[in-house]
A and B are shown apart, each in its own frame.
Chain A
Amino acid sequence: MSGAPQVALPRWVDIGLMPVINLVQALLVAGLVVLVIGVNPIDAMRIMAWGAVYDSVAISYTLYYATDFVFTGLAVAVAFHAGLFNIGGEGQAYVAGLGATLAILLLDGYLPGILLIPIGLIAAMVFGAGWALVPAYLQAYRGSHIVITTIMFNFIAASLMVYVASDLLRAPGDMLPSSREFAPAAYLPHVHDLAALLGFQMHSTPLNLSILWAAACCVFVWVFIWRTRWGYAIRAVGLSPKAAVYAGISPKGVIMVAMCLSGALAAGVALNQIIGYHHRLLLDFVAGAGFTGIAVALMGRNHPVGIVLSAILFGALYQGGAELAFEIPTITRDMIVAMQGLVILFSGALAYMNRPWIARLYAMFDRRAVLAEAA
């Protein structure tokens, strides 16, 4: 690949065309898999795409899944701007759920929802940031690589939560390892409840107001990264730590801030799942959103707008995937996971695989344009 011309591609190619090509490639391979088990891939794709948008229920589920991916995508993106690869969104969101649960379990007998929910969210953010703080410290002051430590912290979080949910918070005689259900005051309102207040009839879905928090987080991240001194410092460290030091920026402090912010953003998953839907601590409520967030951030090119778009795409894949498993029984849930995995592989891990040939192609067209102008 060394012969590939390293031309600067225009933005629409980089952030628009390349993700689409990645997606098409993933769907082609997924289509082959579907074909092998004897299902018409066009039908399967149609059910999957249609299943994500065909009515208000499907759209609500798509957005409900997408909300999680916005949080974890932003978390990965903020760390990425500081040159850090935070693989620990899963664990940070998981532990954030513990923070939210503990705060609400302690207070739901005394406070109204208007106080409970913000307190729960703040507790979640503190716990999420705290869980990111240790790997950040180890990276900043001890040089332990953040990729390794955040991965390990995911495992520690999983074990910790199993212990907490099954040994500390489980009600006696209860089968499920979970905390007790919160008092209704602590439920974050569902979108269908609000619609009913306004006179619209909507089917009951898990979509809740955490989607507004996700929107607020997007705006915040954009302002923070591109319009504040701290954001400038983070981007400077991400581009070149040495140059940043020369400019008087301490990479250590930047690493700590970026990672804590990352953990606090991932805590939004706890708002969506624990306060917004399950209303109690459940094992594995993050369900892989932390890892999907990596692909979402890569595909969204670490920009809030891109992250929202790719989060909706992944939300649609989750919702459409459930529809597909429902409609075509020969496509099992494991095949759905494989298809989602292909999209993550192509748009995440192989995001820049196509860059060389697209660049070559683009250079060819570009030269023609230049020649035409000269003639």
Chain B
Amino acid sequence: MKTLMQAAFAAGAFCLAASTALADPAVVYDAGGKFDKSFNEAAYNGIEKFKAETGTSYLEFEVQADAQREQAFRKMAQRGADPIIGIGFSQESAIKKVAAEFPNIRFAIIDSVVDLPNVQSIVFKEQEGSYLVGVLAALASKTGKVGFVGGMDIPLISRFQCGYAQGAKAANPNVEVIGNMTGTTPAAWNDPTRGAELAKGQFDRGVDVVFAAAGGTGTGVYQAAKDAGKLAIGVDSNQNHLQPGTMLTSMLKRVDVAVYESAKAAKEGNWKPGVTVLGLKEGGVDWALDEHNKSLITDDMKTKVEAAKADIVSGKVAVHDYMSDNSCPM
């Protein structure tokens, strides 16, 4: 009996140790799940690109409950994964704790800042990308009213909204911006039904272009726009292909690039801790133009949005950051 137990223990230990990987990167997705067509999926695409290019495999985990966050990071660290990339601001407290326990392992967090010597914090200037799609929205609007549907009501999403409003006003000072948030809980990231309702409400008030910064909720917004013959703007990933002919453009937040760069830098030995801010200048945010929306973007619009982009990059135009003072002057 005793030897049998020992054998069982050994077999179990073996099966847990078998897949131990050293210095492979790891990704911990947020509760939205890696196939959310938006934020987390962008991270997935980034790490897949890294895998395809370097042939290095990676570890991954999708968080299901808050209690698992810390556990996931610690397990990755015990496996020797490096760097360990946490997707989303919700991972902040878990990374703070685990990164302090494993000072020799490199961590990265997207969308939040953790001030530790072995953590790279990657944040985006969402306001700059939103400014550009705001310019396009105002130029495309015939009614002079543009809409915004946010996901969860948090400062980060207000940052999108504020940049969008500023861009729209820059292109057309008389434009009216109507905004709604989907909700106040994480469920707001994945509520397409409510997204569609909010969009319809805005269409009834005269809006004819709507920008959704709402994760999975956006799909409902785009569908509503298609049904009503209006225009919509996607977010995070390039979502132009979701409803061709309806999608005016997408505000790109290159989470994929951030994840890819972090993993690659660690592999090549030029990884740096600290805060990395990715704006228009760094290619961290942008607007999307491809075969699905080129018929909707006129040459005039393209010229104007590229001019706005150049102005932001050169510093001639400063886009207000909502999170700097928790208010929007628009």
A pairs with B: yes
Please list the residues of chain A having a beta carbon within 8 angstroms of any beta carbon in chain B. 43, 46-47, 49-51, 54, 61, 64-65, 162-163, 166-167, 172-173, 175-177, 203-204, 206, 273, 277-278, 282-285, 287, 322-323, 325-327, 329, 332-333, 336-337
B174 at the binding interface (Cβ < 8 Å): no
Do residues A54 and B71 form an inter-chain contact, with CB atoms below 8 A?
Answer: no
* Known contacts A54-B13, A206-B70, A323-B16; 6 further A-B pairs (Cβ under 8 A): A46-B12, A166-B153, A204-B74, A282-B66, A322-B72, A333-B33
The interface bits of chain B over 2-24 (1 if a CB of A lies within 8 angstroms of the residue's CB, else 0) are: 00000000011101100100000
> For the complex, what is the distance from the CA of A197 to the CA of B97, rounded to whole Å?
20
Please list the residues of chain B having a beta carbon within 8 angstroms of any beta carbon in chain A. 11-13, 15-16, 19, 33, 59-62, 64-68, 70-72, 74-75, 89-90, 97, 101, 112, 153-156, 184-186, 323, 326
Residue of B nearest to A279 (CB): B93
Do residues A206 and B184 form an inter-chain contact, with CB atoms below 8 A?
Answer: no
Residue of B nearest to A327 (CB): B19
Do residues B153 and A326 form an inter-chain contact, with CB atoms below 8 A?
Answer: no
Do residues B185 and A283 form an inter-chain contact, with CB atoms below 8 A?
Answer: yes
> For the complex, what is the distance from the CA of A51 to the CA of B16, rounded to whole Å?
8
A287/B66 contact (C-beta < 8 A), A46-B15, A54-B12, A172-B326 known: yes
What 5 A-B pairs are tightest by C-beta distance, nearest first? A50-B12, A166-B184, A333-B64, A175-B154, A287-B65
**Across-interface contacts of B323 in A (CB, < 8 A):** 173
Do residues A285 and B66 form an inter-chain contact, with CB atoms below 8 A?
Answer: yes
**Across-interface contacts of B33 in A (CB, < 8 A):** 333
> Among the listed A163, A278, A336, which residue makes an inter-chain contact with B64, where contact means beta carbons less than 8 Å apart?
A336
> Among the listed B67, B154, B156, which residue makes an inter-chain contact with A206, where contact means beta carbons less than 8 Å apart?
B67
> For the complex, what is the distance from the CA of A287 to the CA of B65, rounded to whole Å?
7
Do residues B89 and A47 form an inter-chain contact, with CB atoms below 8 A?
Answer: no
> For the complex, what is the distance from the CA of A263 to the CA of B273, rounded to whole Å?
48
Residue of A nearest to B11 (CB): A46
Say how far A67's CB is from chain B's closest CB, in angstroms.
Answer: 12
> For the complex, what is the distance from the CA of A47 to the CA of B17, rounded to whole Å?
11
Chain B binding surface, main DSSP class:
helix
> For the complex, what is the distance from the CA of A204 to the CA of B154, rounded to whole Å?
31
Do residues B66 and A326 form an inter-chain contact, with CB atoms below 8 A?
Answer: no
> For the complex, what is the distance from the CA of A332 to the CA of B326, rounded to whole Å?
38
Do residues B101 and A287 form an inter-chain contact, with CB atoms below 8 A?
Answer: no
Do residues A322 and B155 form an inter-chain contact, with CB atoms below 8 A?
Answer: no
> Among the listed A162, A173, A329, which residue makes an inter-chain contact with B60, where contact means beta carbons less than 8 Å apart?
A329
Do residues B72 and A326 form an inter-chain contact, with CB atoms below 8 A?
Answer: yes
Do residues B66 and A278 form an inter-chain contact, with CB atoms below 8 A?
Answer: yes
> Among the listed A47, A167, A287, A325, which residue makes an inter-chain contact with B16, where contact means beta carbons less than 8 Å apart?
A47
**Across-interface contacts of A204 in B (CB, < 8 A):** 74, 97, 101
> For the complex, what is the distance from the CA of A327 to the CA of B72, rounded to whole Å?
11
Do residues A176 and B185 form an inter-chain contact, with CB atoms below 8 A?
Answer: no
Residue of B nearest to A273 (CB): B67
Say how far B228's CB is from chain A's closest CB, in angstroms.
Answer: 30
Do residues A176 and B89 form an inter-chain contact, with CB atoms below 8 A?
Answer: yes
**Across-interface contacts of B60 in A (CB, < 8 A):** 329
**Across-interface contacts of A46 in B (CB, < 8 A):** 11-12, 15
Residue of B nearest to A49 (CB): B12
Do residues B67 and A162 form an inter-chain contact, with CB atoms below 8 A?
Answer: no
> For the complex, what is the distance from the CA of A177 to the CA of B13, rounded to whole Å?
40
**Across-interface contacts of A167 in B (CB, < 8 A):** 184
A177/B66 contact (C-beta < 8 A), A54-B12, A325-B61 known: no
> Among the listed A54, A175, A285, A333, which residue makes an inter-chain contact with B89, where contact means beta carbons less than 8 Å apart?
A175
**Across-interface contacts of A327 in B (CB, < 8 A):** 15-16, 19
> Among the listed B62, B66, B70, B156, which residue makes an inter-chain contact with A333, where contact means beta carbons less than 8 Å apart?
B62
> For the complex, what is the distance from the CA of A277 to the CA of B66, rounded to whole Å?
11
**Across-interface contacts of A206 in B (CB, < 8 A):** 67, 70
Of B74, B154, B186, most buried by chain A (CB within 10 Å of CB) is B154
Residue of B nearest to A328 (CB): B19
**Across-interface contacts of A51 in B (CB, < 8 A):** 16
